Homo-oligomer: A and B are copies of this chain.
């Protein structure tokens, strides 16, 4: 009988996702320092050891939230880019990026600020990470060395803005002009 095993695996996958979702919710509402194995186990209504049946350790759970978040962000950037006129592609990507960072600060933190074991450069780089990066490259045109470099740079700038915005350094009111400047900078990039 295969269906019994199948059902078990499906339930296992569901619980896997349940843990990730619970961790993310907990982080968004109470901050990452509140995401402990006990609280998380309590929230998913299992005991602590169950968590370790799905993830090697707490860091792996945070990394899973990070990968999920990056996938979501990639998707949102893609939708924003496709919905905008071609000439506004870069701006659409930027706005979408910053919107995600503002709307999901804990996920964003897991993605780009907290210590992580997620590899960005190697063969086992998760697909969502590649998708996110390629999405930014797409705003500049076809994939080539120059556009990849531009993508990395604007990514860095966006990350910097996101952090500074969150810490309150940049007043929200000047944000639009700041974004204008960023977009102008990269749109007029010398060949």
Contacts and interface: CB of A to CB of B under 8 A. Distances in A.
Given A152-B170, A160-B159, A189 B178 contact: no
A5 interface: no
Contacts of A157: 153-154, 156-157, 160
A49 to B, nearest CB: 23
A153 B185 contact: yes
A184 interface: yes
Does more than half of chain A's interface fall in helix, strand or loop, or is it mixed? Answer: helix
Contact of A189 (B113, B160, B185): B185
A121 interface: yes
Contacts of A85: none
A169 B121 contact: yes
A3 interface: no
Contacts of A186: 185
The interface size bin for chain A is: 35 or more
Nearest to A184: B190
Nearest to A116: B167
A41 interface: no
Nearest to A152: B164
A149 B182 CA distance: 9
A126 to B, nearest CB: 14
A178 B145 CA distance: 10
B181 A149 contact: yes
Contacts of A169: 120-121, 152
Nearest to A190: B184
B121 A168 contact: yes
